[in-house]
Amino acid sequence: MSATVQPVDRETWRRLASGFGDYNYRQLWEFGVACAARVGAHSEHVAIYDDGNLAGLADVRVKAVPVLGTGIAYVNGGPLVRRGEICDAERLRAALSALCAEYVDRRGLVLRIAPPLPGPGNWSAARAAAFTTCGFVPSEGLLPHRTMLLDLTRPLADIRKRLRQKWRNCLNAAERKGLQVRTGTDADTFAAFCNLYDELLARKEFAVDLDARFYAGVQPRLVEDERFEVTLAEHEGRPVAGHVASVLGDTCVYLLGAANEAGLRHKASYLLQWDVLTRARQRGCRWYDLGGIDPQGNPGVYAFKAGLGGVDVTAAGPFECPPTRLTAAVVGAAERAYRGLRNLRRRASRLA
């Protein structure tokens, strides 16, 4: 019997996803639905079974290309196949084969997959080999996800010892400032962070694809144990810095951070990072993912994240598997046209 995909409902998805070590915010039901809606796509949540056994899960965002009868099936942060520390390449191959049979062979779509971050040992290499075996090729024009990954299984004293000297000095200074740190998942706490983030965007004069208010909009739809965790540093009762994280599977992910002028003076972001990673470690997280780095495009943020002493890692992929080369070319041209139009609309909106 070959592996097959079966649609699942929301409650079944949550129940099954909690058993995977690589469960991550990009595969949250509500996050995927919200991201799909932004680009006129829809999410399909499927379980993959191989000989009756659960092999994996995937939230597949399907975007049709009008008139052409094709489109893209996009899996971001999946498929989920890793059970705890167990990295099973056979299970991954079964999941990839089933997804290809459904979305490429049967429906004629380009299947594009951005896998989760590496797991234990040589899992990254084994995963890349599985994609190649199943007929995937690197996705042109899309950069792989690069981040700093901090091993939280080491003793806390060892983690602190390995902080870069400047980073540790800033943390020591922040700890002497009398800052209060609190964490919540409620609307008011998220709203306080959004205000800090809006101030940051105005000060830095840059735009982001998914900003704080996007995550805040998703938050009320999530069940409590899957919600984004917002941590604020306050000075004299007023928020001066904030941090948004997702804690799922065996990894804590740094999503967003912001500080105002007072927060910068008090080195509050250093204290927040230390508080978050300490609590993630206490909860049994294996890794702390610092949420993406760009040494050339954003050297200041890169230096800050590198100061925690993590390892610079790059996730395998993205990969894609098209029905034909012609389909891949047609879909690629449609994507470029769509992105160009979207960028024009954004520029017009900023100028209005």
In a domain, 295, yes or no: no
Question: Whole-angstrom Cα distance, residue 306 to residue 148?
Answer: 7
In a domain, 83, yes or no: yes
Nearest to 192 by CA among 233, 248, 134: 233
18 and 119 assigned to the same domain: yes
Residue 60: give the domain boundaries.
4-143+315-351
14 and 136 assigned to the same domain: yes
125 and 167 assigned to the same domain: no
28 and 85 assigned to the same domain: yes
- Taking only the tens place, the pLDDT of each residue in 334-344 is 566 555 555 55
Residue 294 has pLDDT above 50, yes or no: yes
231 and 170 assigned to the same domain: yes
**Tokens standing for residue 204:** 């830095």
Question: Whole-angstrom Cα distance, residue 330 to residue 208?
Answer: 28
Residue 346 has pLDDT above 80, yes or no: no
166 and 135 assigned to the same domain: no
In a domain, 159, yes or no: yes
In a domain, 272, yes or no: yes
267 and 328 assigned to the same domain: no
The reported pTM is 0.89
138 and 8 assigned to the same domain: yes
Residue 3 pLDDT: 86
Q: Kindly report the CATH number assigned to the domain that includes residue 236.
A: 3.40.630.30
Residue 350 pLDDT: 46
Residue 151 pLDDT: 94
**Tokens standing for residue 48:** 């993959």
Residue 201 pLDDT: 86
123 and 159 assigned to the same domain: no
Measured over the CA atoms of residue 249, residue 252, residue 254 and residue 257, the dihedral's sign is positive
Among 113-122, 207-216, 315-324, the range scoring the smallest mean pLDDT is 113-122
Task: Please tell me the total count of domains within the chain.
Answer: 2
